[in-house]
Structure 1
Amino acid sequence: MCMFRPRGCNPNLDCTIGVTVQVIGQNQMKVQMVAATIIPPVQQQYVAVAFSHDKAMGNDSVSECVISNMGEFVGFEPEVYVSYNKGKSNDRVFLNDDEHDTLFSDLAGEVVDTRLVCEFTQQIMPQIDNKNGLIWNLNTPFYVMAATGSAQPDEVNAHELNRDSHSFPITSEETFNPITFGNNFDHPNGFTPKINTNRIEKRPMRPTEAPKASASLIPLISFVLSLVMIF
């Protein structure tokens, strides 16, 4: 499943926002997102995917990727969070390190040629506490949305509100069940939380370090694009 804006754009060149989702293994889906960087530039920018019961914002489960690129945040590694849209506001859901590393893995992100690119793996049926219903089981049909905007250390800011803007959020025209985004899905065997050994170290990169995100992010999006329909 993928969506890109504007219609017919090339995610390697001129898409202002886009998302692809596919199942890659047992209870695992790969999320890949791209967005044009905000002008004028901001210190932190997010690109997010939301799963909703309808086409309107509100009562949505959100997975957001935040990349820091300027000012005091230069060199910080990308972060992925789960949050919840309550009405028109967004609140992050607190996860401890073990819960975070169980729900998410294989995070990579960077700014490439004025485009924000991020990918991560997420559990479809979360094997962690549901946080009073704020962590959703995604094994059910949802509308899929994607949005981008500026961020702060503890929250995201409002996305573009001008519907005529190419950066306005995109929404699927129909519902999708994430388990249909591939053919490798297997239900997890009971409630079996575990610590991911590929732990995401939440620390800034040293100036001499190369970014951890691989240049292979863009080809991967192109590969997925060749397999699925563009909305």
Structure 2
Amino acid sequence: MIHLLTLGGPWFVGALALGALIGFLTFTRARDATFGGGWIIALGVLALSVGAAISYVEILQGRDAALFDIGYLATLAYAAGLPLGGFIKSLGGEGENRPTPAPIIVAPAPVIEPEPVIIPPQPVAEAERPIAAPETRTVAETRRPPNAAPAPARAKTPRGAKPETLGAPRNGAPDDLSRIKGVGPKSLEKLNALGVFHYDQIAEWDLENARWIGAAIGAPGRVERDKWIQQARALAGAGGEGK
């Protein structure tokens, strides 16, 4: 035995150091670590048992027996080095728990509803507004027989009451109605077409007349809003009416 230790001493030390290195590198201090190589341990124990039996019964003789015994003892030294390396590594501190990765929660993207686009009403240019002519009906039309054919569709009658109008300006000289705030060139043309030429005509209007004129020139509410009647009375009182 002493002869074997003398011959294989360097091999035994090297096998022990190699086993310790492998054990140090493969040993883990994680508390939740598991080992799944039980079959390797069982196979190693079986191999060592077979080797021990061969050496014990002295099946091999001479040089072969010496080499086998040296290899067997070196294997034992390697097997002893594995737990030794793990033990050395365990002296470095207590086992650490492996951090559990936080679950990744993918939230659905929020649904963004488009905001409604509000388009403000565009003012209608005065030149584009149609002139609504007042509707007139005859007595015959109002007393149509039941079996008579329906009358053709007519434009709606402007609201209010039609004021008194003229066929032409007095003395051929109309007043400058554009001096009334809110009476533009188009409105002036429409007023003249309806028979309104002088300040005193506008000054005599009432609310119903104002509504009728506003509907007729295609600008409902303008007469009341811009106070045409009050302006016309001021201009007529100041001597601005036509003659």
Structure 1 length-normalised TM = 0.19
* More RCO (CA 8 Å, sep 6+): 1
Choose 1 or 2 for highest CA Rg. Answer: 2
Indicate the structure with greater helix content.
2
